[in-house]
Amino acid sequence: MTAPLRQTARLTTGESGAEVEFEVRGRVAVITINRPQARNAINAAVAKGLEAAVDRLEADDGVWVGVLTATPPVFCAGADLKEIGAGRRDQLRTARGGFAGFVARDRTKPVIAAVDGPAMAGGAEICLACDLVVASTAATFSIPEVKRGLVAAAGGLFRLPSRLPLNIAMEMVLTGEPVDADRAHHLGLVNRVTEPGTALDAAMLLAEEIAANAPSAVRASRRVMRAALGLDSPSGWRLSEEAMSAALSSAEMREGVAAFVEKRPPQWSTQ
């Protein structure tokens, strides 16, 4: 099999070099937080870089899935507390993306978090803003804001109890103690667990499984599932029927059926 074409771009440059990197591997974009000297803590450059990365992911018709990772050994320590202490908290967010330029960002394409180290505070909230999580056994997840006299304000307080049983989420938030990758997988927070150093490889395999499917159908399915969270059953049925009606009249449906009948892999459009 031919290796996928790779295109790498540095989206934001800080004093230490590229704060966020964007690499295209076939149909998958790999977005890397690259501030290891500060435990990949979020500063203004990272927030702007992540927003630009999502913009590029959404704009590129040839890229169907994103993988968000970080330079080891820490996935992300959350907000840079030096910036907060200096009164620059607002610089750690963007108007469209919220904290880190990511957690509140509207998007249509799925993003997988590839976690190969601790994801703390805002780092865990970045994972919660992703659609899927692949973690190595070196990963931990924690919402420790209460230990610092703070409150998790980047989505953790409402996203965590939507992923975990309420009492487990409550324990994580009120104690601030971490959960390891194996327990997170058992509880349903993590999709796949891998050996240390292989989270990105495993996330790429998952991304390629997703990218093998019809891109418009994937996006429509994601949109309905996201929108249906917290809705009543009639609203969920309505959203599902609307998405199916659109799918039935699509070129993707015709290609998918033809490929099944002709016993061949489907050839999805890049649009």
What percent of the chain clears pLDDT 90, i.e. is strictly above it? 66
Same domain as 206, residue 143? yes
Same domain as 93, residue 77? yes
By DSSP bridging, strand 65-70 and strand 6-14 are unpaired
pTM: 0.85
Same domain as 77, residue 20? yes
Same domain as 101, residue 230? no
pLDDT tens digits along 84-115: 778 888 899 999 999 999 999 999 999 999 99
- The CATH number of whichever domain residue 119 belongs to comes to 3.90.226.10
User: So what's the pLDDT on residue 229?
Assistant: 79
Structural domains of the chain, count: 2
Looking at the domain assignment, is residue 271 inside a domain?
no
Same domain as 221, residue 199? no
The answer on pLDDT for 1 being more than 50 is no
Same domain as 241, residue 158? no
Same domain as 53, residue 25? yes
Q: Are 220 and 195 in contact (CB under 8 A)?
A: no
pLDDT band at 233, cuts 50/70/90? low
Tell me how far apart the alpha carbons of residues 264 and 86 are, in angstroms, rounded to a whole number: 60
Same domain as 189, residue 98? yes
* Residues annotated as part of the active site: 145
Tell me how far apart the alpha carbons of residues 126 and 114 are, in angstroms, rounded to a whole number: 11
Same domain as 158, residue 88? yes
Of 31, 92, 20, 117, nearest in space to 66 by CA:
31
pLDDT tens digits along 14-35: 444 589 999 999 999 999 999 9
Looking at the domain assignment, is residue 267 inside a domain?
no
Looking at the domain assignment, is residue 88 inside a domain?
yes
Same domain as 231, residue 252? yes
Looking at the domain assignment, is residue 269 inside a domain?
no
Same domain as 228, residue 173? no
